[in-house]
């Protein structure tokens, strides 16, 4: 579903998947969206018409999907339970037989290639396109983060974390796009903060007494938000001191995803209770919040 990020108003629903949708992403210009699903496919959608533009068939559940953060929506990366990282060039495509592009039997034949065959030891749960468009990061169920160079198609750095990986997100500032981004990883009872430019360079590690299922950072305000697999609370911390500043209560299930808005003034939490909640992260009035 596509919603207004300020008001939460429903805009439209993309219809076509036949299984759970594990991840969704908007391109940098928000003109197209991509979804990864349990029906062994990834789909690309026109966000204005809701039309399914491409169906990318896989041999297993597709868990992760990513566009470059630069304005090039014609390249897409997918990660799956096949343990494969694949790159698709959406400009080189043609439907297999033309009638309904959204049905599996008419899946598109799009040029693609695999990065690092045989390296991943588990399902790829998340893909992050770094600030350098030639570098991708994958987070897999084998508890390893890998940085890949698309030019050599090989892993340049590998890091192991202490626990199952929940979320892995690149946090950038739309207000200061040239500032270095950071990558936030929730794993086990810790949050890892990596440099978004230098592959594998860790900046900070936060340890907690609960299982961290999701995490996001806003550099400008210096805030870290976490969601837990054990309870229903979203916790807000000072990024420098790790002091707990707020505990947001309102969900009725584990919080599996957390994300800041591009301007950093809101953050959203997605829960097993079937709701997404938007929380104000600034002091001044914003949208519906006065």
Cβ atoms of 215 and 160 within 8 Å: the answer is: no
Lowest-pLDDT range of 147-161, 177-191, 214-228, 249-263: 177-191
Q: Higher confidence at residue 181 or residue 143?
A: 143
Query: In the structure, what pLDDT confidence band is assigned to residue 174 with cuts at 50, 70 and 90?
Result: low
Q: Give the sign of the dihedral formed by CA 228, CA 279, CA 126, CA 54.
A: positive
Phi, psi of 147, rounded to the nearest 5 degrees: -105, 130
What is the 3-state secondary structure of 13-73? CCCCCCCCEEEEEECCCCCEEEEEECCCEEEEEECCCCCEEEEEECCCCEEEEECCCCCCC
User: What's the pLDDT score for residue 105?
Assistant: 44
CA distance 234 to 20: 24
Q: What is the mean pLDDT of residues 32-42?
A: 97
Query: In the structure, what pLDDT confidence band is assigned to residue 166 with cuts at 50, 70 and 90?
Result: very high
Q: Higher confidence at residue 96 or residue 149?
A: 149
Q: Residue 245: is its pLDDT beyond 60?
A: yes
In terms of Cα–Cα distance, which of 183, 260, 179 is closest to 227?
260
Percent of all residues in the chain with a pLDDT value above 90, rounded to a whole number? 74
Q: Which domains does the chain have, with CATH numbers?
A: 1-160 (2.130.10.10), 164-290 (2.130.10.10)
Q: Residue 222: is its pLDDT beyond 80?
A: yes
User: What's the pLDDT score for residue 92?
Assistant: 77
CA distance 12 to 7: 14
Q: Higher confidence at residue 159 or residue 109?
A: 159
User: What's the pLDDT score for residue 71?
Assistant: 66
Does pTM top 0.75 for this prediction? yes
Q: Residue 115: is its pLDDT beyond 70?
A: yes
Q: What is the mean pLDDT of residues 97-121?
A: 69
Give the Cβ contact number of residue 10 at 10 Å.
Answer: 10
Q: Residue 97: is its pLDDT beyond 80?
A: no
User: What's the pLDDT score for residue 100?
Assistant: 40
Q: What is the mean pLDDT of residues 57-81?
A: 91
Cβ atoms of 259 and 265 within 8 Å: the answer is: no
Give the Cβ contact number of residue 257 at 10 Å.
Answer: 19
Q: What is the mean pLDDT of residues 223-251?
A: 95
Q: Across all residues in the chain, what is the average pLDDT? A: 89
Tens-place pLDDT, residues 10-24: 999 999 999 999 999
User: What's the pLDDT score for residue 176?
Assistant: 59
Structure token pair of residue 125: 């749960």
């Amino acid at each position: 579903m596509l919603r207004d990020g300020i008001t939460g108003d429903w805009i439209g629903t993309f219809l076509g998947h036949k299984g759970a949708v594990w991840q969704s992403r908007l391109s940098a210009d928000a003109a197209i969206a991509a979804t990864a699903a349990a029906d062994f496919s990834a789909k690309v959608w026109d966000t204005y018409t809701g039309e399914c533009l491409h169906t990318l068939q896989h041999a297993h559940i597709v868990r992760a999907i990513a566009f470059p953060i630069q304005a090039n929506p014609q390249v897409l990366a997918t990660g799956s339970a096949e343990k494969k990282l694949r790159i698709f060039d959406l400009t080189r495509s043609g439907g297999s037989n033309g009638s309904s592009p959204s049905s599996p039997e008419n899946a598109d034949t799009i040029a693609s290639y695999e990065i690092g065959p045989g390296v991943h030891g588990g399902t790829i749960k998340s893909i992050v396109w770094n600030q350098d468009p030639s570098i991708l990061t994958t987070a897999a169920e084998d508890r390893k983060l890998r940085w890949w160079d698309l030019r050599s198609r090989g892993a340049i750095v590998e890091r192991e974390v202490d626990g199952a990986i929940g979320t892995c997100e690149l946090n950038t500032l739309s207000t200061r796009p040239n500032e270095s981004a950071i990558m936030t990883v929730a794993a086990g009872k810790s949050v890892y903060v990596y440099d978004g430019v230098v592959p594998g360079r860790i900046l900070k590690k936060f340890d907690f007494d609960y299982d961290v299922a999701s995490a996001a950072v806003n550099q400008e305000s210096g805030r870290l938000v976490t969601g837990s697999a054990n309870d229903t609370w979203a916790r807000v911390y000072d990024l420098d001191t790790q002091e707990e500043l707020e505990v947001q209560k309102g969900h009725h299930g584990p919080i599996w995803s957390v994300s800041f808005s591009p301007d950093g003034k809101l953050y959203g939490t997605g829960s097993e209770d079937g709701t997404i909640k938007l929380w104000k992260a600034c002091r001044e009035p914003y949208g519906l919040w006065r």
